[in-house]
């Protein structure tokens, strides 16, 4: 089956190089593959593979998973409302999600090459900054909720 070419009008600010790139990235109409429940099952399998790979290869993911286990125990033990308990756990899950995204960025950058490049370093630094922001947010959330019940 031949994929039909899509005739696209580009804005005036897009130059010839961008047009060439954009024409290579047109949607793959008629792309063969799984649909429906079969696609969902396959996607779930890939997600589980990703979790296993992150856990195996990334120390930070293992540390933040351990943090999540501790948070589950503490949130269960603390005398807080159900909404506060969910919030306490959600911010730690957020840290884990951001760490998974950061690990994916690092893996792609490392795949591109081992030589130092400013953009590669910037991508890794920005990913790391996202993890830091999530950790600070989680820390302040825990401090506010636990502190409002036990310290002030």
122 is in an annotated binding site: no
Query: Whose CA is closest to 55, among 98, 116, 99?
Result: 99
118 is catalytic: no
Q: Residue 33: what pLDDT?
A: 74
Rounded to the nearest integer, the mean pLDDT of the chain is: 88
Domain locations in the chain as residue ranges: 54-150
Report pTM: 0.76
Walking along the chain (152 residues) 10 residues at a time, the average pLDDT comes out as 61 57 56 82 96 97 98 97 98 98 96 90 97 98 96 86
Q: Which of 51, 3, 45, 44 has the alpha carbon at shortest distance from 27? A: 3
Other Cβ atoms within 10 Å of 132 Cβ, number: 13
User: Does the annotation place 46 within a ligand binding site?
Assistant: yes
Determine if residue 61 is labeled as part of a ligand binding site: yes
- Identified catalytic residue from 84, 99, 102, 120: 99
CA distances from 58 to 34, 95, 97, 99, 104 (A): 31, 14, 13, 9, 10
Q: 109-135: per-residue pLDDT in tens?
A: 999 988 889 999 999 999 999 999 999
84 marked as part of a ligand binding site: no
Q: Give the domain 54-150 fold.
A: Helix Hairpins (1.10.287)
pLDDT score for 118: 94
Per the CB < 8 A criterion, the answer to whether 62 and 55 are in contact is yes
Transcribe 83-119 into DSSP letters.
Answer: HHHHHHHHHHHHHHHHHHHHHHHHHHHHHH-SS--HH
pLDDT at 10 (0 to 100): 57
């Amino acid at each position: 089956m031949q994929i039909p070419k899509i005739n696209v009008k580009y804005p005036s600010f897009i130059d010839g190089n961008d047009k060439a790139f954009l024409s290579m990235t047109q949607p793959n109409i008629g792309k063969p593959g799984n649909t429906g429940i079969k696609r969902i099952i396959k996607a779930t399998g890939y997600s589980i593979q990703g979790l296993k790979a992150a856990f195996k290869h990334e120390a930070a993911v293992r540390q933040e998973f351990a943090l999540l286990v501790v948070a589950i125990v503490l949130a269960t033990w603390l005398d807080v409302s159900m909404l506060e308990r969910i919030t306490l756990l959600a911010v730690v899950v957020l840290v884990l999600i951001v760490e998974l995204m950061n690990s994916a960025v690092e893996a792609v950058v490392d795949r591109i090459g081992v030589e130092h490049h400013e953009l590669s370093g910037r991508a890794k630094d920005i990913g790391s900054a996202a993890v830091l922001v999530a950790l600070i947010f989680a820390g302040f959330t825990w401090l506010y909720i636990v502190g409002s019940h036990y310290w002030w």
